[in-house]
Amino acid sequence: MSGAKRSTWIGGTVFVALVIMLAAWFFAVSPTMSAAAEVRSEAEQTREMNEILDLKVDQLKADFAKLPEYQAELAGIQLQIPTDAMLADYLRQLDQIAVAHSVALTTVTPSIPQTVVLAAPVVTAAPEPAPTEGTEGTEGSADGVEAPPAPAPGAGGPTGFTAIPLSLTVIGTYDNTLAFLNSLQNGTQRLFLVTGFTGTAQKEGDASSGRPATAVGDQELVIAGYTYVLPDALAVPETTDPAAAPVAPPAAVPGKNPLVPVSGS
């Protein structure tokens, strides 16, 4: 074989080899490397998520270890704001402080419960700077960004938070009725907010119609305020399944009339 033909064969062989190598790169090696890179990226993301989950699990373990402490704290709070009205129990507390301060609790009048609506925080925009010479005033804040709108009233408030208006009347000496008023806010387990009171001086009088005997200088104190109820958000309500079929009454025995007396009876 002459040298020219040999060079042609060698050049063709080299060209074919280069084509095969390029084809192998684009159709085999490059996709495999891309897939491997994606797998490495997913593995790194999974590792990071596992580390975050480990931190959350550790925090949950720490919180669970303090669960009795949290439960005791919650029980103490529920003594101040119970999950139910429990007015009978509260009246017993009022009677106890009335006896402790030697006053007569003549009336306790609850009114219709009211839903507590928390006041929305006041959001004020930054003062608008006075326009200087060569510039015009713009609406909004000094940075040209409008202030965010205030949230709707009651937004973020606890569901079911209720206030029960109460009016109480006590009669006794001036000092004792004021001591009862102080204990009403500070001396009972249950929270009571005094919103107003009216004191009326008493004359000497005999006991009548549930009112105690009074002396000159005694006081009738009418107190208005609120006590509160917050249902337990974790309590599971007892509900019935409306889709459940009603229980059918027992069917009559065929051929037997229930109105006919049984023989021998």
Least trusted range by pLDDT, from 53-62, 92-101, 254-263: 254-263
Helix boundaries (H) for 25-141: 30-65, 67-80, 87-100
| pLDDT at position 144 | 40
Amino acid at 63: D
Residue 115, token pair as written in the block: 């839903």
* Structure confidence at residue 221 as a pLDDT band (50, 70, 90): very high
Could you give the 3-state DSSP secondary structure of residue 133?
Answer: coil
Q: Are 114 and 161 in contact (CB under 8 A)?
A: no
Fold of the CATH domain 81-117+156-233: Alpha-Beta Plaits (3.30.70)
Could you give the 3-state DSSP secondary structure of residue 259?
Answer: coil
* Structure confidence at residue 252 as a pLDDT band (50, 70, 90): low
> Is 80 exceeded by the pLDDT of residue 131?
no
| pLDDT at position 237 | 56
Angle, CA 9 vertex, CA 6 and CA 10 arms, to 5°: 85
* Structure confidence at residue 150 as a pLDDT band (50, 70, 90): very low
| pLDDT at position 80 | 74
Residues 58 and 50: their CA atoms lie apart, in Å, by 12
pTM of the predicted model, to two decimals? 0.52
Percent of the chain clearing pLDDT 70 (strictly above): 60
